[in-house]
Chain A
Amino acid sequence: MSEPVAIPANVESATAPQAPPGWRRYADVYAALWRNSVTREMGFQVNFFLWLFVELLWFALQLGFNSVIYLHTDSIGSWTKWEVVMLIGASHFVQQLFQALLLVNCAQLSELVHTGRMDFMLLLPVNTRFLVSLRHVDLGGFISAASGLAVVFYAAHRLNVTPSLAQMLSFSLLCGAAILIHYSLMFLMATISFWTVRAQGMVMAYYNLFSIARIPDAAFRGAGRVIFTLAIPMLLVASVPVKVLIDKLSSPAEIILLLTMSAVTFLGSTLVWRRALQRYSSASS
């Protein structure tokens, strides 16, 4: 056993000189990662459909819970039944897209460190964060996300709302910002818990945390509201896109807040990731 070798801090940006980095090259790498993921999923078809079933079951469970609640009330704060259905649909849409593109990879980060495979990732001539964040694609997540979107549209129909093109575009943009928040927070948790918590526990923690996004923001007051808006912006990720669709925004500031928070959380995760890489010493050598 030799002493652990400290990897230089700038290794993240170190790329091989003969291969100039560029959008084109990253697009090629990403396409290759997609092909890999599709091939892998084809090998476990039964598992693929089982996972899809599990996701749909949990989604139905949330909608069922909401129906039970609204048997006993007409509104939660200012939110009516179908508005909350839309909120649950949008939250599912965002969460599943995040799951399709990024979640597995975040969850596997600690395993990469434990098994020493992180060394290998660091040596590859692409940005390490790009690689560890986007390695696997979970195709079932896209189908699940579509079911969330279908519920959003159905709820809009029940609310007699026909969103304009501008509203739909803003909805898409804000969902993108929401995914960035999901990713940044999860990546942050994964980076911090490099050496402590196992992936299983972290994914559980994630689901618990993000269950807040399905609750109407009007239910929260005082400290809870501040924490889940400004520190862990769960009350923004699904509700702001929905409010845009149904003209429920109290002020445009909510949109700015969501966009700002996505930038802030992303920057935060970048800072912590850099620190973690500086302190990283290999597990295997």
Chain B
Amino acid sequence: MTTCWHIFNIGLQNTLSYRVNFFARALFNLIPLLAIVAMWRAIYAGKSGDVSGYILAQMISYYLLVTIVESMTSVTEDDWQIAAEIKDGHIGQFLTRPIDYLHYRLCLFFSGRVVYTLAATIPVGLFVYWHREYLVRPHDGVAIAAFILSLALSAVLQFLLSYLIAMLAFWVLEISTFVFILLACERIASGQMFPLDILPSWLAQAVMWTPFPYCIFFPVSIYLGKISGAALVQGLILQVLWVATLYALARLVWRRGLKTYTVVGG
């Protein structure tokens, strides 16, 4: 635990140098979101009734929450850094030290999240404040507790997905294509572009079998009170199962990777 705390602190200091980058990134991330919100406004202006149970105000609050969840949980530089550390041979030092690489990166990831969330506070805060009439309160006390829990799990889940993609650096020279493939899957299937329950129900159900909805859609739906009771418990169990599965997979791939790995030079 104390080791993790030290790594967390070092991570904080290192990532602080990225703060301008993070700020710019958070700012530019808002642009497509503004466009999508504008598009939904135009759609609702031209029709009567709701969209799969979402009235305009709920639709906008959905996107507000996506923005908040995303700025607190999404992976920023970690995948590139891990791949670079594998390629440059920096992971060699972890083989001789009593620090586990996965845990080391996880601690760094959390310090990165803290810095990113702070850097994103101003742009995201302004965006939310501008739409504050749509920001609903969480459904109830249970929803708040479950939301915080699933938020933490979704951060770990997103980290593990990126970690697994970065592990490909053991076998391939360039991982960027794979990073963008993962990013595309996350965009469409995590609920970042639209609430997944506006999909035709067979498709929505199929998507719920992948880990992606548990990255964004699930915590947001808990907050909005769309998921509660037995479905909430079941969802949380599935989220934990995904985290456990990907964690085991990450361990396995790391061990397989090391077998093929050679560090050249000191």
Residue ranges of A at the interface with B (Cβ–Cβ < 8 Å): 44, 47, 50-51, 53-54, 57-58, 61, 64-65, 68-69, 71-77, 196-198, 200-201, 204-205, 208-209, 211-212, 215-216, 218-221, 224
Contact = CB atoms under 8 A, between A and B. Distances in A.
Interface stretch (B95-103, B149-157, B173-181, B222-230): B173-181
Interface stretch (B64-72, B115-123, B139-147, B193-201): B193-201
Interface in B186-245: 187-188, 193-194, 198-200
Given A58-B184, A71-B198, A216-B42, 8 more contacts: A47-B173, A53-B177, A58-B180, A71-B200, A74-B46, A212-B35, A216-B39, A224-B34
A201 B31 contact: no
A122 B188 CA distance: 44
Nearest to B38: A219
Contacts of B34: 224
Given A208-B32, A212-B32, A65 B193 contact: yes
A73 B46 contact: yes
A61 B177 contact: no
Given A73-B47, A76-B46, A197 B52 contact: no
Q: Which 9 A-B pairs have the closest CB atoms?
A: A50-B177, A219-B42, A205-B28, A211-B32, A219-B39, A208-B28, A219-B38, A72-B51, A73-B43
A213 B24 CA distance: 20
B181 A54 contact: yes
A68 B28 contact: no
B35 A68 contact: no
Contacts of B184: 54, 57-58, 61
Interface of B is mostly: helix
A218 B200 contact: no
Main secondary structure of the interface of A (DSSP, over half): helix
Contacts of A77: 42, 46
B20 interface: yes
B255 interface: no
Given A57-B181, A211-B31, A212-B32, A201 B24 contact: yes
B31 A208 contact: yes
Given A218-B42, A219-B38, A220-B38, A196 B20 contact: yes
B127 interface: no
A211 B39 CA distance: 12
A210 to B, nearest CB: 9
B187 A61 contact: yes
A44 B174 CA distance: 10
B203 to A, nearest CB: 9
Contacts of B173: 47
B87 interface: no
A50 B174 CA distance: 10
Given A57-B184, A75-B46, A208-B31, A201 B21 contact: yes
B29 interface: yes
Contact of B29 (A44, A72, A208, A224): A208
Contact of B174 (A47, A58, A198, A212): A47
Q: Which of B24, B42, B52, B178 has the most CB of A within 10 A?
A: B42
A229 B194 CA distance: 26
A47 B25 CA distance: 27
A65 to B, nearest CB: 6
A114 B36 CA distance: 36
A97 B80 CA distance: 27
Given A71-B200, A72-B52, A209-B28, A54 B177 contact: yes
